[in-house]
Amino acid sequence: MEILVEVKGLRDETSLAILRETYEYPHSEEYLSRKLDIPLSSCRKKIKTLLSLGLLGEEMRVYNVKGECISFYRSKVRPQ
């Protein structure tokens, strides 16, 4: 994965942490933001980048009691 990450220009720890955290189980933006202790807006930007690079995929969508759509993401690469 190191080579892939360097090729794609993802050398920051936050992106790697998102990939590690979502490898075994899919998680929502809100969960990742809390777990990794980063602002939700930063988490969303990282997820958008990882999605566009094909390193992260949307596993499922659910609706909460308020009717809001919540996406769950899963890593497509095995983290080191």
How far is the C-alpha of 79 from the C-alpha of 1, rounded, in Å? 6
Provide the 10 A C-beta neighbour count for residue 73.
23
How far is the C-alpha of 75 from the C-alpha of 19, rounded, in Å? 5
Residue 80 lies in a domain: no
Output b/e per residue, 35-56; b: 16+ Cβ within 10 A: ebebeeeebeebbebbeebebb
Q: What is the pTM of this model?
A: 0.83
For range 29-54, the mean pLDDT: 96
**Residue 11 pLDDT class (50, 70, 90 cuts):** confident
- State the CATH number of the domain containing residue 54: 1.10.10.10
Q: How many domains is the chain partitioned into structurally?
A: 1
**Residue 78 pLDDT class (50, 70, 90 cuts):** confident
Asked whether residue 45 carries a pLDDT value surpassing 90, the answer given is yes
Range of the domain at 6: 2-75
Evaluate whether 47 touches 73 at the Cβ level (below 8 Å): yes
